[in-house]
Amino acid sequence: PWIYDLFFSELTRNRYARYFVMEKNNEVIGYLGLWHKGSSFHITNIAIAENLRRKGYGENFLKFIEKIAATHRIKKISLEVRKSNCIAQDMYRKYGYKVIKFLKNYYQEEKEDALVMEKKL
Each residue's pLDDT tens digit, 83-100: 999 999 999 999 999 999
DSSP track, 37-103:
ETTEEEEEEEEE-GGGTTSSHHHHHHHHHHHHHHHTT--EEEEEEETT-HHHHHHHHHTT-EEEEEE
pTM for the structure as a whole:
0.90
CB distance 85 to 58 below 8 Å: no
- For 116, the domain range is 4-120
Q: Which residues are catalytic?
A: 80, 92
Distance of alpha carbon 89 from alpha carbon 18, whole angstroms: 22
Query: Within the chain, which residues score under 70 in pLDDT?
Result: 1
Domain count, the chain: 1
CA 88 to chain CA centroid, Å, is 10
CATH code of residue 25: 3.40.630.30
